[in-house]
Amino acid sequence: MPLYNLACRSSLAAETRQKVATAIMHTHCDQTGAPAQFVNVVFMDNYPLPSEQTVSVLGGVRTGGNRTPESIRRLKDALHNAIAEALGESTTAVGMSLVGIPSNWIVEGGEVMPEPGSEEEQAVAQAHGA
Protein backbone atom coordinates (compact mmCIF):
# COMPACT_ATOMS: atom_id res chain seq x y z
CA MET A 1 0.00 0.00 0.00
CA PRO A 2 -0.46 2.47 -1.58
CA LEU A 3 -2.38 0.80 -4.37
CA TYR A 4 -3.22 3.09 -7.27
CA ASN A 5 -5.85 1.65 -9.60
CA LEU A 6 -6.06 3.44 -12.95
CA ALA A 7 -9.19 2.96 -15.06
CA CYS A 8 -8.34 4.05 -18.59
CA ARG A 9 -10.74 5.03 -21.39
CA SER A 10 -8.59 2.97 -23.79
CA SER A 11 -5.46 0.88 -23.51
CA LEU A 12 -2.35 2.99 -22.87
CA ALA A 13 0.90 2.28 -24.73
CA ALA A 14 3.46 0.34 -22.68
CA GLU A 15 5.76 3.36 -22.69
CA THR A 16 2.99 5.60 -21.32
CA ARG A 17 2.12 3.09 -18.61
CA GLN A 18 5.76 3.04 -17.57
CA LYS A 19 5.93 6.84 -17.44
CA VAL A 20 2.75 7.04 -15.37
CA ALA A 21 3.85 4.28 -12.97
CA THR A 22 7.21 6.00 -12.49
CA ALA A 23 5.57 9.38 -11.95
CA ILE A 24 3.22 7.91 -9.33
CA MET A 25 6.07 6.22 -7.48
CA HIS A 26 8.25 9.34 -7.40
CA THR A 27 5.39 11.62 -6.41
CA HIS A 28 4.07 9.34 -3.70
CA CYS A 29 7.53 8.83 -2.19
CA ASP A 30 8.46 12.53 -2.42
CA GLN A 31 5.22 13.62 -0.78
CA THR A 32 5.03 10.99 1.94
CA GLY A 33 8.56 9.70 2.49
CA ALA A 34 7.22 6.17 2.09
CA PRO A 35 9.53 3.49 0.68
CA ALA A 36 9.19 2.92 -3.09
CA GLN A 37 8.71 -0.82 -2.79
CA PHE A 38 5.29 -0.27 -1.22
CA VAL A 39 3.96 1.64 -4.26
CA ASN A 40 1.68 -0.55 -6.38
CA VAL A 41 0.02 0.56 -9.62
CA VAL A 42 -2.60 -1.31 -11.65
CA PHE A 43 -3.97 -0.35 -15.10
CA MET A 44 -7.40 -1.40 -16.38
CA ASP A 45 -8.57 -0.62 -19.91
CA ASN A 46 -11.69 0.47 -21.80
CA TYR A 47 -13.66 1.97 -18.93
CA PRO A 48 -16.64 4.26 -19.66
CA LEU A 49 -15.32 7.41 -18.00
CA PRO A 50 -16.90 10.87 -17.99
CA SER A 51 -16.37 12.53 -21.38
CA GLU A 52 -13.58 14.88 -20.28
CA GLN A 53 -11.46 12.10 -18.71
CA THR A 54 -9.00 9.68 -20.28
CA VAL A 55 -7.87 8.16 -16.98
CA SER A 56 -9.45 7.89 -13.54
CA VAL A 57 -7.26 7.12 -10.55
CA LEU A 58 -8.52 5.47 -7.38
CA GLY A 59 -5.82 5.30 -4.74
CA GLY A 60 -5.86 3.33 -1.53
CA VAL A 61 -3.41 5.04 0.82
CA ARG A 62 -2.43 4.53 4.43
CA THR A 63 -3.69 6.98 7.02
CA GLY A 64 -2.46 7.78 10.52
CA GLY A 65 1.08 8.56 11.64
CA ASN A 66 2.41 11.75 10.07
CA ARG A 67 -0.42 12.02 7.54
CA THR A 68 -2.85 14.86 8.08
CA PRO A 69 -5.86 15.88 5.96
CA GLU A 70 -3.63 18.67 4.59
CA SER A 71 -0.78 16.30 3.64
CA ILE A 72 -3.25 13.93 1.97
CA ARG A 73 -4.68 16.87 0.00
CA ARG A 74 -1.16 17.86 -1.11
CA LEU A 75 -0.46 14.27 -2.12
CA LYS A 76 -3.66 14.17 -4.15
CA ASP A 77 -2.88 17.44 -5.94
CA ALA A 78 0.73 16.43 -6.65
CA LEU A 79 -0.36 13.05 -8.04
CA HIS A 80 -3.04 14.70 -10.16
CA ASN A 81 -0.47 17.01 -11.76
CA ALA A 82 2.23 14.35 -12.16
CA ILE A 83 -0.11 11.80 -13.79
CA ALA A 84 -1.53 14.41 -16.19
CA GLU A 85 2.02 15.43 -17.16
CA ALA A 86 3.09 11.82 -17.71
CA LEU A 87 0.04 11.30 -19.92
CA GLY A 88 0.65 14.56 -21.78
CA GLU A 89 -2.87 15.69 -20.87
CA SER A 90 -4.40 18.49 -18.84
CA THR A 91 -5.49 17.76 -15.28
CA THR A 92 -9.15 17.83 -16.36
CA ALA A 93 -8.44 14.61 -18.29
CA VAL A 94 -7.53 12.84 -15.06
CA GLY A 95 -10.07 11.86 -12.39
CA MET A 96 -8.53 11.47 -8.96
CA SER A 97 -9.82 10.10 -5.67
CA LEU A 98 -8.14 8.64 -2.62
CA VAL A 99 -9.50 6.28 0.03
CA GLY A 100 -7.66 6.24 3.35
CA ILE A 101 -7.00 2.93 5.07
CA PRO A 102 -5.49 2.55 8.54
CA SER A 103 -1.97 1.12 8.35
CA ASN A 104 -2.64 -1.66 10.79
CA TRP A 105 -5.37 -3.09 8.57
CA ILE A 106 -2.72 -4.09 6.03
CA VAL A 107 -0.03 -6.73 5.66
CA GLU A 108 2.67 -6.14 3.07
CA GLY A 109 6.18 -7.55 2.84
CA GLY A 110 5.09 -10.18 5.35
CA GLU A 111 4.43 -7.68 8.14
CA VAL A 112 1.60 -5.55 9.47
CA MET A 113 2.23 -2.12 7.97
CA PRO A 114 3.65 0.47 10.37
CA GLU A 115 2.26 3.97 10.70
CA PRO A 116 3.40 6.34 7.94
CA GLY A 117 6.55 8.25 8.87
CA SER A 118 7.37 6.03 11.83
CA GLU A 119 10.78 4.57 12.63
CA GLU A 120 9.23 1.15 12.13
CA GLU A 121 8.39 2.12 8.54
CA GLN A 122 12.03 2.85 7.78
CA ALA A 123 13.09 -0.37 9.47
CA VAL A 124 10.65 -2.35 7.30
CA ALA A 125 11.95 -0.55 4.20
CA GLN A 126 15.55 -1.41 5.08
CA ALA A 127 14.65 -5.00 5.83
CA HIS A 128 13.13 -5.31 2.36
CA GLY A 129 15.95 -3.68 0.48
CA ALA A 130 14.94 -0.03 0.06
Partner 1 sequence: MPKMLFTIPEGRFSDSQIVAVQAEMVARYQHLMQSNDAVLCFWSVLPQGQSYVAGQQDDIYIALIEVPENFNQEHREELLLKFNEAFAEAAGISLEKPLITMADSSKVDEYLSANRNRLKSFSKLSFLIGTMVHAYRSKKQHGFAALPTNL
Which residues lie near partner 1 (CB under 8 A)? 1, 3, 5, 7, 11, 14, 17-18, 21-22, 24-26, 36-51, 56, 58, 60, 95, 97, 99, 101, 104-110, 112, 128
Helix pair 14-32, 69-87: axis angle to 10 deg: 160
As measured in angstroms, the least distance from the Cβ of 70 to partner 1 is 21
**Alpha-carbon gap, residue 19 to 129, rounded angstroms:** 23
As measured in angstroms, the least distance from the Cβ of 75 to partner 1 is 16
As measured in angstroms, the least distance from the Cβ of 95 to partner 1 is 5
**Alpha-carbon gap, residue 124 to 130, rounded angstroms:** 9
Nearest to 111 by CA among 125, 94, 130: 125
For partner 1, which is the closer residue by CB, 45 or 66?
Answer: 45
As measured in angstroms, the least distance from the Cβ of 72 to partner 1 is 14
Within 10 angstroms of residue 49's Cβ, the number of other Cβ atoms is: 17
- Rounded to whole angstroms, what are the CA distances from 85 to 30, 73, 121? 16, 18, 30
For partner 1, which is the closer residue by CB, 21 or 87?
Answer: 21
